[in-house]
Amino acid sequence: MKILFAAPDRDLLECFKQLFETDLGETVTAFDGTQVMTLLSAEDFDVLIIDRKIPRVDYKAIIERANSKKVPAIVLTDEPAGARRTDDPLPYRRMSYPFTFDGIRKTVIDTLEKGRTEERTESVSEDV
């Protein structure tokens, strides 16, 4: 598994990179939106985890790019759980701060499993 983790806090990036690589697989980090867009164009990822307040490029544009490459996104936000914005129709999962490593780990695994299920469903419907 290859994770792209993007947040403006470099300490948070380093901490979660070490945890993810120990438990989930290769983790590439970026601290601004320009880096994220460059990485999404240059490499393949299984999942994108991004802080909603990533600087330099709006997170919605980043999610659109990830969606175009079929990379599921998890958005980290300081908004309370259940407070999804009505002006934000993009498909992604969200996690509200504060969260635990176990919580984000479960969300990553669930997101990947959902993607695999959709791929299997897509391939079955294409064969019919």
Residue 69 has pLDDT above 70, yes or no: yes
Domain boundaries, the chain: 2-127
- β-pairing verdict for 73-77 and 47-51: parallel
pTM value?
0.85
**Is residue 91 very low, low, confident or very high in pLDDT (cuts 50, 70, 90)?**
confident
Predicted local confidence at residue 128, as pLDDT? 41
Mean pLDDT of 101-110: 93
Confidence class for position 83, pLDDT limits 50, 70, 90: low
Which pLDDT score is estimated for 79? 83
Between residues 118 and 36, which one has the greater pLDDT? 36
Name every residue whose Cβ is closer than 8 Å to that of residue 74 and which is 6 or more positions away in sequence: 47, 48, 49, 50, 92, 93, 94, 95, 104, 107, 108, 111
Model confidence band, residue 123 (pLDDT cutoffs 50, 70, 90): very low
With vertex at residue 108, the alpha carbon angle to CA 72 and CA 97, rounded to the nearest 5 degrees, is 100
CATH number at 2-127: 3.40.50.2300
Helix or strand run (H / E) with residue 28: strand 26-30
